[in-house]
Amino acid sequence: MASFTRRTILASIGAALAAPAILTRAHAAEVTLRLHHFLPGVAPMQTKFFEPWAAELTAASNGAIEVQIFPAMQLGGKPPQLADQTRQGICDIAWTLPVYTPGRFPVAETMANPFMVTNAEKTSVAMHKLMDEFGQNEYRGMKVLAFHTHDGGKLHTRDAPVRSKADLKGLKLRAPNQSTGDLLANLGAEVVFFPVTEMVVGLSNGVIDGCCLPYEVVPAFKLQELTSYSAAPAPAARGLYANTFALVMNQARYESLSDDLRGVIDAASGMALSHRLGKQFDEFEAFGKSVVEKQGNQIVEIPVEEVAAWREAAAPIYDAWIAKLNDAGHDGAAIMARANELLDGG
């Protein structure tokens, strides 16, 4: 096999971005990597990221790497099992959420706490740096390809907008994770937890009054038709929450590759990929917001002063998270301080 320098790898990746989706291989693939994820095959994450990224790996390796994508858990199991499936070699690469296995990857979960997000691009970079500094041992048996988040969540409601704590009192809201649920409960909402797939039924039959999700999720579930209002913190404030994600590869599979092919993987992963994924999710967010606007739903802004009061209500949640990090053998206060410093541009 010809040697691939970092320069030629990056040049090939750039060419792949500009090339048609159908690529002509120089020869048959030497390595087939199975990528497993939980979203349907028509989801933007597959069509706008996984498929182009897979094509880039093929082009950069001169056809030696082929990535087979298995959406919607087609290799079996449930989404919380994706990290273990990667570690065990059931799949070679998986895209998963640390919150699927609460407490198992506490450093990676840290930015899923309330108000730990600016936008997806900046927060994804901050998360990657935080993991480099504090979380290098969390994904044993796996090579981390990227970390990222989505943009800050919004409050989507059926019957009335949310501008203040008073508007939350008594509202039945579906929460996206435990810490966000704790915040909403502290603010007076009645919180329920169930899978996002059951959310549509809950909104349709009145079991819940609303949900907390980023705009990027709206089109897939037609939330713009089930809700009439969306509320987001003022631009000067941080977002309500963001779940964190990890793109991971089986370590043994990675190490079994030739030096050249490991170089291809390395050039197409790492901080640059985290940055790219975050930017991609900001684009998904902008599209989701446009769908809400096209529907004619009212978008309201939660004032900066109100958000500051909500952040005070999150203080016990931060204290509990620091204790959880400490119990896992980390310096919880240092991790939280550094996360905030990175979010503030440090």
Token output for 177: 């994770």
Read off the pLDDT of residues 131-145 as tens digits, 9 standing for 90 and up: 999 999 999 999 999
Give domain 154-241+296-315's CATH architecture: 3-Layer(aba) Sandwich (3.40)
> How far is the CA of 124 from the CAs of 30, 185, 271, 336, 339, in angstroms?
32, 27, 9, 16, 11
6 pLDDT higher than 80 = no
Confirm if 48 and 285 have CB atoms less than 8 A apart.
no
The percentage of the chain sitting over the pLDDT mark of 70, rounded to a whole number, equals 92
Read off the pLDDT of residues 228-252 as tens digits, 9 standing for 90 and up: 999 999 999 999 999 999 999 999 9
Token output for 265: 């993987």
Identify the CATH number of the domain defined by range 6-152+243-284.
3.40.190.170
Q: For the chain, which residues make up each domain, given as ranges? A: 6-152+243-284, 154-241+296-315
Read off the pLDDT of residues 46-89 as tens digits, 9 standing for 90 and up: 999 999 999 999 999 999 999 999 999 999 999 999 999 999 99
Instruction: Identify the residue whose tokens are 């550094």.
Output: 338
Per-residue model confidence (pLDDT) at position 14: 42
Q: Which amino acid is at 130?
A: L
Per-residue model confidence (pLDDT) at position 29: 87
Per-residue model confidence (pLDDT) at position 27: 54
Read off the pLDDT of residues 256-274 as tens digits, 9 standing for 90 and up: 999 999 999 999 999 999 9
Strands (E), the chain: 31-36, 65-70, 93-96, 142-149, 154-157, 172-174, 190-192, 210-213, 229-233, 244-250, 298-302
Could you give the CA distance from residue 346 to residue 103 in angstroms, rounded to a whole number?
26
> How far is the CA of 41 from the CAs of 50, 76, 301, in angstroms?
10, 15, 34
Read off the pLDDT of residues 318-339 as tens digits, 9 standing for 90 and up: 999 999 999 999 999 999 999 9
pLDDT band at 15 (very low <50, low <70, confident <90, very high): very low
Identical fold between 6-152+243-284 and 154-241+296-315: yes
Q: What is the pTM of this model?
A: 0.90
Q: What angle do CA 194, 195, 197 make, to 5 degrees?
A: 130
pLDDT band at 197 (very low <50, low <70, confident <90, very high): confident
Confirm if 267 and 190 have CB atoms less than 8 A apart.
no
Q: How many CA atoms lie within 13 A of 258 on its CB side?
A: 11
The β-bridge relationship of strands 65-70 and 31-36 is parallel
Per-residue model confidence (pLDDT) at position 198: 85
Could you give the CA distance from residue 109 to residue 318 in angstroms, rounded to a whole number?
12
Read off the pLDDT of residues 145-174 as tens digits, 9 standing for 90 and up: 999 999 999 999 999 999 999 999 999 999
